[in-house]
């Protein structure tokens, strides 16, 4: 390899590219956000509102909320559990009871190793869920077998089910009581907007709990 090529490679590694390359990169960046923006304009707001009502009713009834997903959706499940359990908490009011079924690696690996990976969430639901509880099932494709089995197990136990998915919704959108389908085929954008939806719902839950607290204080002349 010639010295000129070596220098060119070094320049690329150091971020020194010509204007055309930089322009192409910026165009790619803009294209990513254009697709995201287009999906945002077509979000299923009515379904999000229905799911929000389910979560608020779970809080009022002191029911348990379970959340499950694989891969990037597993991290969204854990993140959502954190936001609901802590971020949505209002001082002086009972917290929402929430568990991410993704968070016990020993339990997940035990079920996967001894039985099947398709059972890692369903078996936790069998052990923990009660009528009136809620399962939030996250799958970008809507086709993850372990997520679908968890939904089936939850429904058998009288739980409400919310599915977060994308594209055509897969089986999850049809199986869940409420299906929130992100209107794009790109998995990266689906996962982006799953996180946005969960942030929205945690924020709205806190607002409702704060509103209920304010309403309770109103007869006392406190606002």
Residues 128 and 30 in one domain: no
Q: Are residues 70 and 32 in the same domain?
A: no
Co-location of 104 and 80 in the same domain: yes
Residues 159 and 194 in one domain: yes
| 206/172 same-domain check | yes
**Residues 59 and 85 placed together within one structural domain of the fold:** yes
Q: Examine residue 90 and state whether it is found in any structural domain, yes or no.
A: yes
Q: State the 10-residue block means of pLDDT for the chain, 223 residues long.
A: 45 50 75 96 98 97 98 98 97 96 98 98 98 98 98 98 98 98 97 98 97 56 39
Task: Say whether both 34 and 128 belong to one domain.
Answer: no
Domain count, the chain: 2
The residue segments making up the domain with residue 8 are 3-38
Determine the pLDDT at residue 19.
53
Cβ neighbors of 146 (< 8 A, separation 6 or more) are 68, 70, 117, 118, 119, 120, 121, 122
> Is residue 128 domain-resident?
yes
* Cα–Cα separations (whole angstroms), residue 141 to 148, 164, 170, 185: 11, 9, 6, 9
At 126 the pLDDT is 98
The pLDDT score that the predictor gives to residue 11 is 46
How many Cα atoms occupy the beta-carbon half-sphere of 189 within 13 Å? 20
- Residue 29: per-residue pLDDT: 92
The answer on 53 and 34 residing in a single domain is: no
User: Quick one: 59 and 160 in the same domain?
Assistant: yes
What's the distance, CA 9 to chain centroid? 40
Q: Are residues 52 and 93 in the same domain?
A: yes
Q: Is residue 223 part of a domain?
A: no
The span from the CA of 187 to the CA of 92, in Å, is 40
C-alpha distances out from residue 117 to 4, 54, 170, Å? 52, 28, 19
Q: Do 80 and 9 fall into the same domain?
A: no
On whether residue 120 sits in a domain, the answer given is yes
Specify the pLDDT at position 32. 95
* 13 in any annotated domain: yes
Evaluate whether residue 212 is within a structural domain. yes
Q: Are residues 104 and 24 located together in one domain of the fold?
A: no
Burial 132-152 (b: 16+ CB within 10 A, else e): ebbbbbbbbbbebebbbbbbe
Whether 164 is covered by a domain: the verdict is yes
What is the domain-level CATH number for residue 87?
Answer: 3.40.50.10490
């Amino acid at each position: 390899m010639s010295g000129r090529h070596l220098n060119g490679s070094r320049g690329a590694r150091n971020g020194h590219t010509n204007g055309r390359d930089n322009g192409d990169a910026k165009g790619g960046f803009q294209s990513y956000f254009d697709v995201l923006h287009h999906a945002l304009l077509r979000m299923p707001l009515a379904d999000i509102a229905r799911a929000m009502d389910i979560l608020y009713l779970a809080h009022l009834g002191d029911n348990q909320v379970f959340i499950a997903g694989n891969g990037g959706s597993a991290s969204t499940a854990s993140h959502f559990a954190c936001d609901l359990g802590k971020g949505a908490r209002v001082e002086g009011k009972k917290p929402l009871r929430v568990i991410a079924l993704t968070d016990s690696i020993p339990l997940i690996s035990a079920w996967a190793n001894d039985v099947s990976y398709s059972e890692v969430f369903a078996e936790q639901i069998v052990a923990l869920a009660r009528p009136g509880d809620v399962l939030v099932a996250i799958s970008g494709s809507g086709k993850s077998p372990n997520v679908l089995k968890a939904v089936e197990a939850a429904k058998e136990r009288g739980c409400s089910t919310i599915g977060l998915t994308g594209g055509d919704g897969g089986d999850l959108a049809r199986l869940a009581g409420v299906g929130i389908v992100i209107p794009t085929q790109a998995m990266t954008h689906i996962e982006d907007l799953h996180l946005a939806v969960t942030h929205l719902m945690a924020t709205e839950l806190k607002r409702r709990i704060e509103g209920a607290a304010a309403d309770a204080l109103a007869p006392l002349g406190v606002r």
